[in-house]
Amino acid sequence: MTGTEDLHARVALTWLAEPGTRSVHRLVDRLGPVATLQLLLDGGAPDETLRAAVAARLPAGDPRAVAAEAVALTDRLGARIVSPADDEWPVALGDLARLVLPGASRKVDRETAPPLCLWVRGGWPLAEVLDRSVAVVGARAATGYGVHVATELGYGLADREWTVVSGGAFGIDAAAHRGALNAGGVTVAVLACGVDRPYPMGNSALFDRIAETGLLISEWLPGAEPLRPRFLIRNRVIAAGTRGSVLVEAAARSGAAQTMHRAVALRRPAMVVPGPVTSALSVGAHELLREYRDARLVTGLAHVLEEVGRIGSDLAPPARGEERPTDVLDDDAALLRESMPRRGVISADALAARAGVPVRTALRKLALLEELGLVTRRDDGYALTRPQPSHGHA
Amino acid sequence: MTGTEDLHARVALTWLAEPGTRSVHRLVDRLGPVATLQLLLDGGAPDETLRAAVAARLPAGDPRAVAAEAVALTDRLGARIVSPADDEWPVALGDLARLVLPGASRKVDRETAPPLCLWVRGGWPLAEVLDRSVAVVGARAATGYGVHVATELGYGLADREWTVVSGGAFGIDAAAHRGALNAGGVTVAVLACGVDRPYPMGNSALFDRIAETGLLISEWLPGAEPLRPRFLIRNRVIAAGTRGSVLVEAAARSGAAQTMHRAVALRRPAMVVPGPVTSALSVGAHELLREYRDARLVTGLAHVLEEVGRIGSDLAPPARGEERPTDVLDDDAALLRESMPRRGVISADALAARAGVPVRTALRKLALLEELGLVTRRDDGYALTRPQPSHGHA
């Protein structure tokens, strides 16, 4: 019963104050959703802004009745509500509780708390699907170039069994979803409105396919309208729910670029595909690469996998056939290998200094050398791999 | 007389050992060119490699006679030889004496000493022309996109009275030179062969125009052939002789990318124009941006000027007409201004921390704020600009 009551309170709170509101999230953390709801209904919101927001919403209905209706409607839609109490809750969203955006002056940049609950349409367990996921986002008014790149990326990621997450918009978002669907993979559209009325209508057929084979998710109640600010509020969920985000095309000051700011602040890989400087749809992408030292230029699937992949499963496959492992090493990798001490262990930093290679590069190349069986990782650093000693020489 | 003797010895040494040879440069530094020449002719080269190189060259002629002939030929060509003793010697090339390329394993990456002298065709004083210069380099097999970008950059730089330096090759190099010529500006082609026979022949008309209004320069004797390794040896002069280098298009592992490695190692701005990831001619550019944290993505003239420009002359022009200066501030600049203390001075680092903006960004934006007259630079940091005190209130 408490579970149901909790869930209803979360829904009511989501309706009372826009998702992401920090003060609500803090109260829920401290008091639980039921007591928080009661406190707000009693006019006890801890700050004037929240008190005003609640007061403004109350004339529209009784929050508890609205919540009960939303829960019933969710059932009728064949959808479900997932809350932090559920096994399928994506714990990565908890990182939003600590998200601080430098110099945040706008509301959407300050109110970035985790969702209180999520609506889900589709058969997959949410946490499992997002555990191995990459966001691909970009401009609605994408060019043929951007659509091509996003489709390829969506396809490639899905083909390697990564979930492709995007916002369901026209242009890059739709291309990424479609690429994943074409590969027979799983794709998730994170909506800025109710899961019963995915926006834009023009993508209805796409949303139907996503709901069948992937997931439609939202932090808004069924029936909620796709109001403009909601797209920006929603973007933090795309950034936090995935292992990393890729921006394909964006005009200056775009919403997609804003997703990337969140990814950077969350210390998720923020990857950007460059484009022709002659295109207005590349301006936002290049701005990001210029302004954020942590934004990473990627040109395709291999680079994306390198950023988000786990060592051993998503690195470039080792060489086959007649090739020796060392044949595939590029200059840096070869240099690092040559710089390894013949015996004993060396730290990545020390090795990088010795080889005169940036530490970041050294770490990547060491992972490659390890994958190729040329180097062994020890507790205190790296060592050249030795042939197995024969028995009796232990 | 010593001046002439010195110069002849430098020419002879240039002929005896390929330009850039470190051991020769060190000897000249210590003993002067005349004594160095004598030492080498006596078989006294300090290392086996140099001894072998000298021995290999000697059967082709008497170095002193070759030098006398080259000097005479240079005169007949209407060209001149510039050495470190001359006023027009570009002192920036001296930085090559300290250039160390990390992990250099190839000869061309180790033998990067300054030229002993330079051949010059054209009317401008070399040092003056290079003092305010930017290199624009890239692929020979450039695409229409690259040619467009390089031409625009060459034009824009020349139009802002920057010298455009490149290598005279087909593709990007030629486009950059042409852009500068079209703007009526000065452009310099750094050749990998004698200034009497600029390579490639297909660019003859271009070289003629450059010689008339700009400069053709080379560290090789007249008549010297454009051997393949010479292009790579030459690249260090392009990187060291300019304020910064811009790469426009490059395939993987290109010679132009190698120029950029030198620019990075010399701590000159190494700027890279991105392109479509679907183009093979963008691979080298994107590789550089991925591998070098110090390589800077630029999308056009404004970004290049921001990197190489001197504060006060090459920043974006301040707002005109009805606009208030603060109208033109972007988010970061506005935020930094708001974060300035009302009175007193703050360091760029402290201000960056206060505003939550990267220090690099803060420095750029502070330069802008200074240009706009909103902020004043002091010995110990930055302060808000105050209205001039009226007389009598000193």
CB contact under 8 A, B276 and A278: no
Give the side-chain half-sphere CA count within 13 A for A265.
26
Q: How many domains does chain B have?
A: 3
- Residue A252 placed within a domain: yes
Of B102, B273, B357, the CB nearest to A357: B102
Give the pLDDT of residue B71: 98
Interface with chain A: mutation pick from B101, B106, B297, B335, highest number of A CBs within 10 Å: B297
Chain A residues within an 8 Å CB radius of B102 = 355-357
Residues 6+ apart with CB under 8 A from B20: B96, B108, B111, B112, B113, B115, B233, B236
In the predicted structure, residue A262 carries a pLDDT above the cut 60: yes
- Residue A394 placed within a domain: no
C-alpha dist (Å) from residue B170 to A100, A324, B162, B166, B190: 50, 38, 22, 11, 13
In the predicted structure, residue A318 carries a pLDDT above the cut 60: no
Return mean pLDDT, chain A: 90
Residues 6+ apart with CB under 8 A from A73: A196, A222, A223
Chain A residues within an 8 Å CB radius of B335 = 103, 105
Give the pLDDT of residue A234: 96
Q: Where residue A189 sits, what CATH number does that domain have?
A: 3.40.50.450
| Statement to judge: residues B234 and B264 lie in one domain | yes
* Average of per-residue pLDDT across A289-310: 92
Give the pLDDT of residue A325: 55
| Statement to judge: residues B39 and B167 lie in one domain | no
Among A65, A81, A106, where does a domain finish?
Answer: A65
| Statement to judge: residues A59 and A194 lie in one domain | no
- Residue A391 placed within a domain: no
In the predicted structure, residue A390 carries a pLDDT above the cut 70: no
Give the pLDDT of residue A4: 93
| Statement to judge: residues B182 and B120 lie in one domain | yes
CB contact under 8 A, B148 and A278: yes
Give the pLDDT of residue B311: 45
CB contact under 8 A, B356 and A289: no
Determine the 3-state secondary structure of A271 from DSSP: strand
Give the pLDDT of residue A314: 52
Chain A residues within an 8 Å CB radius of B297 = 274, 286, 289-290, 297
Handedness of CA A207, A212, A215, A216 (dihedral sign): positive
Give the pLDDT of residue B286: 97
| Statement to judge: residues B301 and B330 lie in one domain | no
* CA B249/CA A274 separation, integer angstroms: 13
Chain B residues within an 8 Å CB radius of A299 = 277, 282-283, 286
Give the pLDDT of residue A219: 98
C-alpha dist (Å) from residue B393 to A188, B342, B390: 68, 20, 6
Rg (CA), chain A: 24
* CA A122/CA B55 separation, integer angstroms: 79
A251, A127 contact by CB (below 8 A): no
Interface of B with A (CB under 8 A): 102-103, 105, 145, 148-149, 273-278, 282-283, 286, 289-293, 296-297, 299-300, 303, 331-332, 335, 355-358, 360-361
In the predicted structure, residue A310 carries a pLDDT above the cut 70: no
DSSP B136: E
In the predicted structure, residue B231 carries a pLDDT above the cut 70: yes
Among A45, A65, A85, where does a domain finish?
Answer: A65
Determine the 3-state secondary structure of B204 from DSSP: helix
pLDDT tens, position by position, B55-67? 999 999 999 999 9
The pLDDT > 90 percentage for chain B reads 71
Beta bridge partners of A218: A119, A191
Of the ranges A232-246, A365-379, B278-292, which one carries the lowest mean pLDDT score? A365-379
- Residue A278 placed within a domain: yes
In the predicted structure, residue B93 carries a pLDDT above the cut 90: yes
| Statement to judge: residues A329 and A250 lie in one domain | no
In the predicted structure, residue B1 carries a pLDDT above the cut 70: no
Which of the two residues, A147 and A377, has the higher pLDDT score? A147
> To the nearest whole angstrom, how far is the Cα of A389 from the nearest Cα of chain B?
33
Give the pLDDT of residue A328: 59
* Average of per-residue pLDDT across A7-34: 96
* Average of per-residue pLDDT across B11-29: 96
pLDDT tens, position by position, A121-132? 999 999 999 999
Q: Where residue A338 sits, what CATH number does that domain have?
A: 1.10.10.10
- Residue B317 placed within a domain: no
Which of the two residues, B159 and B328, has the higher pLDDT score? B159
Task: Phi first, then psi: give them for residue A94, nearest 5 degrees.
Answer: -60, -25
Of B278, B291, B331, the CB nearest to A361: B291
* CA B361/CA B333 separation, integer angstroms: 9
pLDDT tens, position by position, A156-178? 999 999 999 999 999 999 999 99
pLDDT tens, position by position, A31-44? 999 999 999 999 99
**Tokens of residue B102, six digits:** 């990390």
Give the model's confidence band at B32: pLDDT under 50 very low, under 70 low, under 90 confident, else very high: very high
Give the pLDDT of residue A387: 56
Of B145, B274, B291, the CB nearest to A286: B274
B300, B152 contact by CB (below 8 A): yes
Residue with the two structure tokens 């240039």: B14
**Tokens of residue B56, six digits:** 């290999």
Helix (H) or strand (E) holding B270: strand B270-272
In the predicted structure, residue A146 carries a pLDDT above the cut 90: yes
- Residue A255 placed within a domain: yes
| Statement to judge: residues A298 and A329 lie in one domain | no
- Number of CB atoms found within 10 A of residue B143's CB: 20
Among A308, A333, A354, where does a domain finish?
Answer: A308
Residue of A nearest to B334 (CA): A103
In the predicted structure, residue A322 carries a pLDDT above the cut 60: no
Give the pLDDT of residue B362: 84
Give the pLDDT of residue A293: 87
| Statement to judge: residues B351 and B210 lie in one domain | no
A101, A112 contact by CB (below 8 A): yes
Smallest CA-to-CA distance from B373 within B306, B313, B326, B314 is with B326
B18, B221 contact by CB (below 8 A): no
**Helix/strand/coil (H, E, C) string of A34-95?**
HHHHHHHHCCCCCCHHHHHHHHHHHHHCCHHHHHHHHHHHHHHCCCEEECCCCCCCCHHHHH
Smallest CA-to-CA distance from B336 within B322, B350, B324 is with B350
| Statement to judge: residues A125 and A206 lie in one domain | yes
Which of the two residues, A316 and A176, has the higher pLDDT score? A176
* CA A286/CA A294 separation, integer angstroms: 13
Give the pLDDT of residue A320: 37
Give the pLDDT of residue B394: 34
- Residue B250 placed within a domain: yes
* Average of per-residue pLDDT across A259-286: 96
Of the ranges A21-35, A90-104, B9-23, B134-148, which one carries the lowest mean pLDDT score? A90-104
DSSP B58: G
Give the pLDDT of residue B327: 54
DSSP B191: E
Give the model's confidence band at A313: pLDDT under 50 very low, under 70 low, under 90 confident, else very high: low
Give the pLDDT of residue A300: 97
- Residue A233 placed within a domain: yes
Residue with the two structure tokens 């929603």: A234
| Statement to judge: residues B186 and B272 lie in one domain | yes
Determine the 3-state secondary structure of A376 from DSSP: strand
Domain of B48, in residue numbers:
2-67
| Statement to judge: residues A126 and A53 lie in one domain | no
* CA B97/CA A376 separation, integer angstroms: 39
Say whether the ipTM exceeds 0.85.
Answer: no
Give the pLDDT of residue B220: 97
Give the model's confidence band at A253: pLDDT under 50 very low, under 70 low, under 90 confident, else very high: confident
Give the model's confidence band at A392: pLDDT under 50 very low, under 70 low, under 90 confident, else very high: very low
In the predicted structure, residue B230 carries a pLDDT above the cut 60: yes
The strand ranges marked E within chain A are 80-82, 118-121, 133-137, 163-166, 187-191, 215-218, 245-247, 270-272, 296-297, 375-378, 381-384
CB contact under 8 A, A299 and B277: yes
pLDDT tens, position by position, B132-174? 999 999 999 999 999 999 999 999 999 999 999 999 999 999 9
Give the model's confidence band at A354: pLDDT under 50 very low, under 70 low, under 90 confident, else very high: confident
* Average of per-residue pLDDT across A235-262: 94
Return mean pLDDT, chain B: 90
Chain B residues within an 8 Å CB radius of A282 = 274, 299
| Statement to judge: residues A137 and A255 lie in one domain | yes
In the predicted structure, residue A385 carries a pLDDT above the cut 50: yes
